[in-house]
Amino acid sequence: MPKYVYAFGGGGAEGRSDQKELLGGKGAGLAEMSGLGLPVPPGFTITTEVCKVYHREGQAFPAGFELELTEQLARLEGLQNRKFGDRRDPLLVSVRSGGPVSMPGMMDTVLNLGVNGETAEGMIEAGMDARFVWDCYRRLLAMYGDVVLEVPHAGFERILVERRTEEGVATDSEISAAGLREVTRRYLDYIRENGRVFPQDPMEQLYGAVKAVVESWNNRRAREYRRIHGLPEDSGTGVNVQAMVFGNRGEECATGVAFTRDPSTGEKRIYGEYLVNAQGEDVVAGTRTPQPVLDKDGSALLGRVFPEAYSDLVAVCEKLEQHRGDMQDVEFTIEDGKLYMLQTRDGKRTGLAAVRIGADMVAEGLIDHAEALKRVEAEQLVQMLAPVFDRAEKEEAIADGRLLARGLAAGPGAASGKIALSAERAASMALEGPVLLVREETSPEDIVGMHASAGILTSRGGMTSHAAVVARGLGKPCIVGAGDLVVDEEAAQVRVDGRVFAEGEDLSMDGSEGQVIAGRLEPRESEVLAAVLEEREVDSQSVSAFRKIVSWADDERRMKVRANADTPHDARVARALGAEGIGLCRTEHMFFEEERIPWVRRLILARSEEERSQALARLLPVQQDDFEGIFEAMDGLPVTVRLLDPPLHEFLPHGERALAEMAVEMGTEPADVAAVADSLAEFNPMLGNRGCRLGLTTPGLYEMQVEAITRAVAKLSLAGHDPRPEIMVPLVGASGEMEVLRERAVEVVKRVQQETGTDLHIPIGTMIEIPRAALIADRIAAHADFFSFGTNDLTQMAYGYSRDDSGRFLPHYVENGILPFDPFEKLDQVGVGQLVAMACERGRQARADLKMGVCGEHGGEPESIGFFDRCGLDYVSCSPYRVPIARLASARATLGHG
């Protein structure tokens, strides 16, 4: 029979820190701390296996489990020298969930189990502080009532508020002992009014709580969280039963949470908060604003009040970091001045902190480069590169009195947008533009809305509140505890200092500095980005840590990283950010520039071969100029130029009047122009005459582009430069397309070579973006030097979704779990990925030296990059600002964390 319950504390532990799958993260942490001899109240962990069996077997605990539980409880009673359910000096325990992966706020906790009306009286008789005893009991009733008995939480809150009003006090900790006793009485009535009964029998309490935790694994919020984060459905949760230590037993007691380093900046100093005379849930719930462990100047506030506990905490943090090799997020309680550790886990952190901690820990000798890279999720770099407000502009706004409030800087980065006061509104408003979600506090129900928002702002809660934790996970700018804001969801307005902001009005927020500002400031680029772009040495820990991490990533990664860039400026930005080439240089924007568009239009309207040739002849030199600029910026690095892709009607103005004006400009009849525009209109332009289809049906167009590329190369080569263009044919779906266009291009290249007396090597390849192209990749490879996967179009056609139109069903699909994620954001490995893998395999079979890369937007998305690495692509190409992310993601993929 498997072992279902593992003891910890009292001088050791049955479990081990590497048994996270079995014990859950919390259980493994408790086992580890116990093993290290740290001050952990003893207890035991019910394994995740129990949870799995429970759900598998139709809500029943496995055989033998109850016996083990009884034995472990007896052991605990022995260690604590107290009996569970004893009338005068009972053992009280907490019950907490803890799965292999932390799911903040998803699972439930019950404290103070073992109290009932009789033991409460008995404990007071035995000399315990009455206020403390009733506080424990009322907390138990509220938590148990809410979590186990499913009685609405709001009623408990209401009763507490009533009592505060009756006693004329502001906080719960000021309510008198008698008042708390009265509260317990009203709680019991309230539970009864809801048709439920609070079990007075402590064992029944314990089983009820364990069961509730196990069942909560399967509640809607938990399932939704797992779905959104792609967590497995069948890993189960552990349950930790632990002897209570009390942070609410008077002024010598406290409860707190701490990070061993600053989770926002990564700075090496304890970053925590505590509340005197409180229990753990008070800190996390954000209902009272806690004290910082260290003051702003770095002096130990906690140390002044609890010197011994503080120095123990410092030692514990140091020891845990040494042992775990990572920044820790711990929960502690101080009972009568003595420190107890309740939890440790690897701390969540901002991207900035992740990078800084990774770099620092390498310097401290705690970890090696590979481990540092493993620690930083590639997506976290976004936060370091995330926009900030222009300082002067912001200061001016503040000087103008637009600073509305300050809160805790819980997630770095600047954001502005229309405010939404509910998650639902945020999700729907986000379809139209950036949204800031403004709430009193957030809860797990708000996940989807938080996802959709550009920034998150709450009026309550601390750095460890739900909003702060989730926002950091999502990499969103976040401010919590901005207490001056009155968030009135019902009236759909936010009030602050006499000013009123209706839902839909603009606000701005600086998540790095905790400032809420009226109106809209436009975010600008980050310090790191500025330094990297300008190739400046700056005295900044962040910049230097960033540089270290990406340079280590460059040492590790197998795949090259290129950027998608259409202009010399973008090419220079990309190069500064580490791009090793241009993977996609679109030529259409060149056609749109003001002095060119008339010639493009003349080309479209040409009625004779002569008119067409004339237009092409005018476009040739300007295209050549464009290419020279880009090739020069990327001298010595490959530049993949895509021949014209969009349908011709995109180059005509819209509307009858604009067309008529154009006709005048062109010296033609409006009717002729209208006829051409009509003839070019398409029912489904995405599936129409564009890409190489256009190249094949428009005489001279691609030839002109190839000539412009070749002439640019010839000129630069003769001038001693090293241009390395690659010509890419878009939208190939039949090998004949590639065959014909390749022949034509080769002919042009040859001609230009002869004319210029140069000897140029210009690879000619294709996009793989049509499903059929992937299916017949072997045939296409016969005519192509390289493949570049256009996963945007490939996704559109494989799913049959027009990206422009999918807004009407795709959000519904993702919200309702019909799709696990938006396949335009993250590559659908299950379906579209098959096409990519198939094309790689078949392409390479046909041509062993085929170069392969990706230039769809997925080329900058870390999980997708991992997939591309496994497919054996040679490079990924992404937007310039995502190049550092791709460099890191690619390295992580090589290291097996893709």
Compare residues 689 and 753 and give the one whose CB is closer to a second copy: 689
| Beta strand extents in 483-541 (DSSP E only) | 486-488, 493-496, 499-502, 506-510, 515-518, 523-524
For residue 806, what are the contacts with CB-CB under 8 A and spacing of at least 6?
824
Q: Calculate the alpha carbon distances from 442 to 256, 461, 466 in Å.
A: 21, 9, 6
Q: Which is nearer to a second copy, 220 or 808 (CB)?
A: 808
Number of residues that bind a second copy (CB under 8 A): 50
Q: Give the separation between CA 584 and CA 827, rounded to whole angstroms.
A: 18
Q: Which of 828, 861, 863, 869 binds a second copy (CB under 8 A)?
A: 828
Q: Which is nearer to a second copy, 652 or 835 (CB)?
A: 835
Q: Contact at 8 Å (CB) between 167 and 179?
A: yes
Q: Is 775 in the site for a second copy (CB under 8 A)?
A: yes
Q: Which residues contact 758 (CB under 8 A, 6 or more apart)?
A: 713, 714, 717, 718, 752
Task: Tell me 347's DSSP state.
Answer: P
Nearer Cβ to a second copy (18/682): 682
What is the footprint of a second copy within residues 183-202 (CB under 8 A)?
A: none
Return phi, psi of residue 236, to 5°: 75, 170
What contacts 177, CB < 8 A, 6 or more positions away? 129, 130, 131, 134
In the DSSP assignment, the letter for residue 62 is P
Q: Is 800 in the site for a second copy (CB under 8 A)?
A: yes
DSSP state of 684: -
| Phi, psi of 436, rounded to the nearest 5 degrees | -105, 125
Binding segment for a second copy among 68-76, 316-324, 346-354, 813-821 (CB under 8 A)? 813-821
Range 111-150, binding a second copy (CB under 8 A): none
- Residue pair 391/416 in contact (Cβ under 8 Å)? The answer is no
Nearer to a second copy, 641 or 694 (CB): 694
Asked whether position 831 contacts a second copy by CB under 8 A, the answer is: yes
Q: Does 813 bind a second copy (CB under 8 A)?
A: yes
- Both tokens of 609, joined, read 């071969």
Contact in structure between 133 and 89 (CB atoms under 8 Å)? no
Q: Where do the H-state alpha helices sit in 516-647?
A: 527-533, 541-556, 568-576, 588-592, 597-605, 609-633
Whole-number minimum distance, CB 807 to a second copy, in Å? 9
Assess 220 for contact with a second copy (CB under 8 A).
no
Q: Report helix, strand or coil for 243.
A: strand
Among 81, 608, 754, 816, binds a second copy (CB under 8 A): 816
- Taking the complex as a whole, the smallest distance from the CB of residue 603 to a second copy amounts, in Å, to 16
Task: Please give the positions annotated as active site.
Answer: 466, 855
CB of residue 678 to a second copy, shortest distance in Å: 13
**Of 758 and 802, CB closest to a second copy:** 802
Distance separating alpha carbons of residues 81 and 79, to the nearest angstrom:
5
The answer to whether 771 contacts a second copy (rule: CB under 8 A) is yes
Shorter beta-carbon distance to a second copy: residue 213 or 430: 430
Measured between alpha carbons, how far is residue 553 from residues 245, 337, 376, 527, 572 in Å? 45, 46, 11, 21, 21
Question: Counting contacts by CB under 8 A, is residue 808 touching a second copy?
Answer: yes
Residues in the chain, overall count: 898
Report the residue from 801, 824, 875, 881 that binds a second copy according to the rule CB under 8 A: 801
Q: Which of 392, 399, 830, 848 binds a second copy (CB under 8 A)?
A: 830
Given candidates 57, 336, 805, 825, which one binds a second copy under the rule CB under 8 A?
Answer: 805
The region of 290-298, 719-727, 758-766, 802-810 touching a second copy under the rule CB under 8 A is 802-810
Please, what is the minimum distance in Å from the beta carbon of residue 103 to a second copy? 22
In angstroms, give the least distance from the CB of 732 to a second copy.
10
- Residue 193 Cα to chain centre, angstroms: 43
Q: Which tokens go with 828?
A: 């659908």
Task: Candidates 114-122, 445-453, 454-462, 800-808: pick the segment binding a second copy (CB under 8 A).
Answer: 800-808
Distance, in Å, from the CA atom of 631 to the CA atom of 476, rounded to the nearest integer, reads: 37
CB 155 within 8 A of CB 142: no
- Say which DSSP state 300 is in: B
437 near a second copy, rule: CB under 8 A:
no
Q: 490: which residues sit within 8 A by CB, 6+ positions away?
A: none
Q: How far is the CB of 816 from a second copy (least distance, A)?
A: 8
Out of 171, 322, 834, 845, point to the residue binding a second copy (CB under 8 A): 834
Closest to a second copy by CB, 207 vs 821, is: 821
Query: Which of 512, 796, 877, 879 touches a second copy by CB under 8 A?
Result: 796
- Closer to a second copy at the Cβ: 815 or 874? 815
835 binds a second copy (CB under 8 A): yes
Q: Which is nearer to a second copy, 3 or 812 (CB)?
A: 812
Structure tokens at 542: 């962040």
Q: Does 645 engage in binding with a second copy (CB under 8 A)?
A: no
> CB of residue 696 vs a second copy: minimum separation in angstroms?
7
d(Cα 286, Cα 467) in Å, to the nearest integer? 10
The amino acid sitting at 158 is: R
Decide if residue 817 touches a second copy (CB under 8 A).
yes
CB of 675 to a second copy, least distance (A): 15
Rg (CA), the chain: 32
CA gap 339, 293 in Å, rounded: 14
**What is the C-alpha to C-alpha distance for residues 579 and 562, in angstroms, rounded to an integer?**
5
How far apart are CB 848 and a second copy at their closest, in Å? Answer: 23
Piece of 44-52, 197-205, 508-516, 797-805 that binds a second copy (CB under 8 A): 797-805
Position 832 contacts a second copy (CB under 8 A): yes
Per CB under 8 A, which region of 141-149, 750-758, 831-839, 865-873 contacts a second copy? 831-839
Phi-psi region of 170 (alpha: psi -120 to 50; beta: other; left: phi over 0): alpha
Q: Contact at 8 Å (CB) between 578 and 854? A: no
Backbone angles phi, psi at 494, to 5 degrees: -115, 130
Q: Is 798 in the site for a second copy (CB under 8 A)?
A: yes
Nearest approach in angstroms of CB 833 to a second copy is: 9
Between 817 and 872, CB nearer to a second copy: 817
User: Binding a second copy by CB under 8 A: which of 289, 567, 806, 829?
Assistant: 806
The Cα–Cα gap between 389 and 404 comes to: 16
Residues facing residue 518 across a β-bridge: 507
Q: List the strands of the sheet with 254-259, edge to edge.
A: 291-292, 271-276, 254-259, 328-335, 338-346
804 binds a second copy (CB under 8 A): yes
Helix axes of 117-125 and 177-193: crossing angle, nearest 10 degrees? 170
797 binds a second copy (CB under 8 A): yes
Whether residue 47 contacts residue 5, with contact meaning beta carbons closer than 8 Å, is answered with yes
> Which 663-722 residues touch a second copy, going by CB under 8 A?
682-689, 693-694, 696-697
From residue 730 to residue 769, what is the string marking binding to a second copy with x (rule CB under 8 A)?
A: -x-xx-xx--x----------------------------x
Compute the least distance from the CB of residue 846 to a second copy, in Å.
14
| CB closer to a second copy out of 625 and 809 | 809
Among residues 244, 242, 243, 233, the alpha carbon closest in space to that of 51 is found at 233
In the complex, minimum distance from the CB of residue 729 to a second copy, in angstroms, rounded to a whole number: 13
Using the rule CB under 8 A, is 818 a contact of a second copy?
yes
> Rule CB under 8 A: is residue 812 a binding residue for a second copy?
yes
- ∠ at Cα 688 (683, 690), nearest 5°? 140
Using CB under 8 A as the criterion, which residues of the chain lie in contact with a second copy when the complex forms? Answer: 682-689, 693-694, 696-697, 731, 733-734, 736-737, 740, 769-772, 775-776, 779, 793, 796-802, 804-806, 808-809, 812-813, 816-819, 828, 830-832, 834-835
